[in-house]
Amino acid sequence: MSNNHVALVTGGTRGIGAAICKHLKSAGNQVIANYVGNDQRAAAFSEENDIPVMKFDVANFEACQKAIAHTINTYGPISILVNNAGITRDGTLLKMSAENWQDVIDTNLGSCFNMCKAIFPSMKEAGFGRIVNVGSINGQAGQYGQVNYAAAKSGIHGFTKALAQEGARFGVNVNAIAPGYVDTDMVAAVPDEVLKKIIAKIPVGRLGIADDIARGVAFLTADEASFITGSTLSINGGQHMY
Ligand code: NDP
């Protein structure tokens, strides 16, 4: 698989996003990684991998439009967009604050609108684009204590299929990846006893690693993936066969 495109990865400085950036760079793309607050981690990632980083909040519509205009001015039109940034703010419905509901919806789902709104027109004009939205097994199957996250991720799967229909005629392919449980900072927040129960339900018998997901993203963003659009690629060790 060979590519030579400008690729923007949201939440690209650690975890799954960092692995995605490295795989897209190895495939020959000019990669830019976004992040929101962890400056030290971003600087270390940038230096180690020779990948430029951009700090902006994907939940903020204006910030996204500004950052994308700047990226296009600096690097040229963006042909690959990976909407990967995401957060959790878990709690049962009865305990969940309106703020934790809204933050998760805005960061995980609103971000897809904010980013695609700014990038889709130039992809359409160029007659080429690859958008991959990172959903979740918990958007497919639901999860106790995650009405906010499950709703946002489930929304991503619908968003993907709708935008895929708008992009198909213009060579803009839109797909989703639905990771299962992957060993990153996000999963480190899950209590040990809960994690043990989760691993017991994964047929392959282990958590995923970030590279497992990044390989799938690299596949979907390749030039050769021209006939794949509106799909969800589930990478979950067999935990949810959908
Ligand atoms: P991490 O928590 O390890 O990393 C999150 C990344 O997103 C960081 O780079 C962070 O930046 C960035 N980020 C968070 N909020 C924003 C924001 N508002 N604007 C811009 N960047 C932001 O997450 P993972 O690697 O675990 O997860 C990546 C994606 O995969 C998420 O969408 C997640 O929901 C999804 N996923 C993860 C699973 C897992 O098991 N880990 C399972 C299924 C899906 P900073 O460092 O500055 O905070």
pLDDT digits (tens, 9 = 90+) for 157-216: 999 999 999 999 999 999 999 999 999 998 888 899 999 999 999 999 999 999 999 999
CA 131 to chain centre: 10
Question: Is 146 close to ligand 1, i.e. is its CB under 6 Å away?
Answer: no
- Residues 164, 232, 66, 71: is their CA dihedral positive or negative? negative
> Which run of H or of E encompasses 53?
strand 53-55
Structure tokens at 95: 């305990």
pLDDT tens sequence across 128-165 = 999 999 999 999 999 999 999 999 999 999 999 999 99
93-111 core/surface letters (b: 16 or more CB in 10 A; e: else): eeebeeebbebbbbbbbbb
Torsion on CA atoms 28, 214, 115, 144, rounded to nearest 10? 180
Walk me through the domains of the chain, giving residue ranges and CATH numbers.
Answer: 6-234 (3.40.50.720)
Confidence at residue 186, expressed as pLDDT on a 0 to 100 scale = 87
Check whether 2 has a pLDDT greater than 70.
no
Check whether 1 has a pLDDT greater than 80.
no
Instruction: Centre a 10 Å sphere on the Cβ of residue 235 and count the other Cβ atoms it contains.
Output: 18
- Quick one: which atom of ligand 1 is closest to the CA of 33? 9
Question: Is 133 close to ligand 1, i.e. is its CB under 6 Å away?
Answer: no
Residue having the nearest C-alpha atom to atom 12 of ligand 1? 11
Which of 215, 112, 213 minimizes the C-alpha distance to 164? Answer: 112
Instruction: Cite the active site residues.
Output: 149
pLDDT tens sequence across 58-115 = 999 999 999 999 999 999 999 999 999 999 999 999 999 999 999 999 999 999 999 9
Q: Which residues pair with residue 146 across a beta bridge? A: 91
Q: Tell me which of 55, 61, 87 to substitute to probe ligand 1's pocket, judged by most ligand atoms within 8 Å of the beta carbon.
A: 87
Confidence at residue 230, expressed as pLDDT on a 0 to 100 scale = 98
Question: Is 41 close to ligand 1, i.e. is its CB under 6 Å away?
Answer: yes
Its pTM surpasses 0.90: yes
Confidence at residue 57, expressed as pLDDT on a 0 to 100 scale = 98
